Structure 1
């Protein structure tokens, strides 16, 4: 096993700034966001970007995974006092995130490094979080008994795809759809 030397504090800060800048610019410009602009926005040089991320694919993978991990962490941090509202709020977050970052996963799958769907797919993580929220809302009688995790995943994904790069419309359409799942 290869030993990876931990980053110094300044290296960690540079990496964090690069990921934050990349997330912002990928959300605005898509997966083909300018690497030079990402480095500039992060306040580092192009060489620093390439030291941390040897390829566009490596950077996109981190942006994608971190975004999904943050999304899932927000769901688990909810207090659990209003399961229906928490489910609806998280579905909105999921739909907006997917609408805004839709091209990211596709870019990773078609990139030169040939990452497989299994290498980048966070679907299981999202599904597990959603399943917990659906179970809580269902147990509280806050949603129809036949509303399943898979149904809500499809609903959020379909709305995101239909409203790619338009998160405000995606949120509005999801809210309209969710009024149909309330008992």
Structure 2
């Protein structure tokens, strides 16, 4: 079951993909790979997407240029990397695995395996600025975090937009 942060990251990614008129991102599309893999977002070149509103399909036969997976609370990086390998074997050109807690992106393709942190990522001509995806809002006021340390007015507490359950209350002024 996707969490709040998972959904937020997918929405931020979709927002950036849709800015590029040559792309067609499709969330939760089932691909005809293995027993039906469904990446969080499958990105196609727009000219390759031709819906037929008189007859739908359950599994897409054509592989996307990019498959994006956002790690969930109960997924391991090894599971995600294994899934990425299956996608790459099925002719997906690149896979991005987004790890929300470390604000990292694992990029896998036939050419490379790289790790990025809150920066511009480009694969197959598809670009996303992960500094915008992992936008960190500066909160002013009083914040008490789980360590018990109190930050007072005038100090900036860096907190993610969705405050984790380990943080106590945040008061905005």
What TM-score, normalized by structure 2, do the two folds share? 0.33
| More helix by percentage | 1
What TM-score, normalized by structure 1, do the two folds share? 0.32
Structure of greater relative contact order (alpha carbons < 8 Å, 6+ residues apart): 1
